[in-house]
Copies of this chain bind each other. A is one copy, B any other.
Amino acid sequence: MQVVRTPQEIRDLRINTFEGKSVGLVPTMGFLHEGHLSLVKNSREENDITVVSIFVNPIQFGPREDLADYPRDMDRDLLLLEQEGVDLVYAPQPGDMYEGNFSTFVEETSLSKGLCGASRPGHFRGVCTVVLKLFNIVAPDRAYFGLKDYQQYRVICRMARDLNVPVEIKGCPIVREPDGLALSSRNMYLSPRERESALLLSKSIVHARKMVRDGVRSCSQIRAKVLEILGSDPAVSVEYVSLKDACTLEDLQRLDSDGVLAIAARVGKARLIDNTLLEPGKE
């Protein structure tokens, strides 16, 4: 496994070593967990070469967010990726990605406005910008994103389509702890007691899916139940509970087509998100 820091090193590898081989890219901010590793496994199955980027992208954090505290453990990350058979790790420093007078941004202006975009202005602009840079640096055939960040997945699909980026975007299922907690690097902020409270997110999602199986189609009814479950624990501070069209992320009144139930909540210091597709046709 090679570890490189500059775009030029990757470009040289693309030309000299990867020529004619299919390349999968897994963009990460490091502090890897089984969710990331499932993306790596998918990429390894579908491509000759798997590249993982590790970069805590400063421009996707707001001024009051946890950029400084965001967990990092490069040695452990490299060990895990080596074990997974990754071919190349791209681990730039902020100065490698953003020169002093950096001034160009990529902005998706529709899907990125609601949900997390409402409380995190500039977040998806930062995400789109760094992901497009990574696409241009690595030139992957396929790129892998976790569906836990469902809005991010949709925004990146739209960006790639709109800007004619020649890459196939793959969304991979949420990986959960045995008790249901969706894996996240930010779970490490949780105390044992807060972790108990955080379980309400996945529990409410399980309940919502059951309601759809039982024939409920009213989004306000589902949403009310989820809010009731989350509201049962004062340690859970809800930011949003939204039911949106799974493709356009527009508000949904009734589940006549596929929807996504998306939740964001604070538990202690951690801002957690979780979601599920609600597919009435499949239940």
Contact across chains for A102 and B162 when beta carbons are under 8 A apart:
yes
Interface residues in A121-149 (C-beta closer than 8 Å to B): 128-129, 132-133, 136-137, 139
Determine whether the beta carbon of B104 is less than 8 Å from that of A158: yes
- Chief secondary structure at chain A's binding surface: mixed
- Interface of A toward B, CB cutoff 8 Å: 7, 11, 99, 101-111, 128-129, 132-133, 136-137, 139, 158-159, 161-166, 248
Q: Least Cβ distance of A23 to chain B in Å?
A: 14
| A103 near B163: Cβ-Cβ < 8 Å | no
Q: Is the CB of A103 within 8 A of B158?
A: yes
Given A128-B104, A158-B103, A159-B104, the answer on whether A7 and B164 have CB atoms closer than 8 Å is yes
Asked if A106 contacts B163 (CB within 8 A), the reply is: yes
Name 30 interchain pairs, CB-CB below 8 A, sorted by A. Answer: A11-B166, A99-B161, A99-B162, A101-B110, A101-B248, A102-B162, A103-B108, A103-B109, A103-B111, A103-B162, A104-B107, A104-B108, A104-B109, A104-B159, A104-B162, A104-B163, A105-B107, A105-B109, A106-B107, A107-B107, A132-B163, A133-B162, A133-B163, A133-B164, A136-B163, A136-B164, A136-B165, A136-B166, A137-B164, A139-B166
* Interface hub of A101, A104, A137 (most chain B Cβ within 10 A): A104
Q: Which residue of B lies closest to A167 (CB)?
A: B136
CA distance A236 to B185 in the complex (A): 62
With A and B bound together, what is the CA distance between A105 and B104 in angstroms? 11
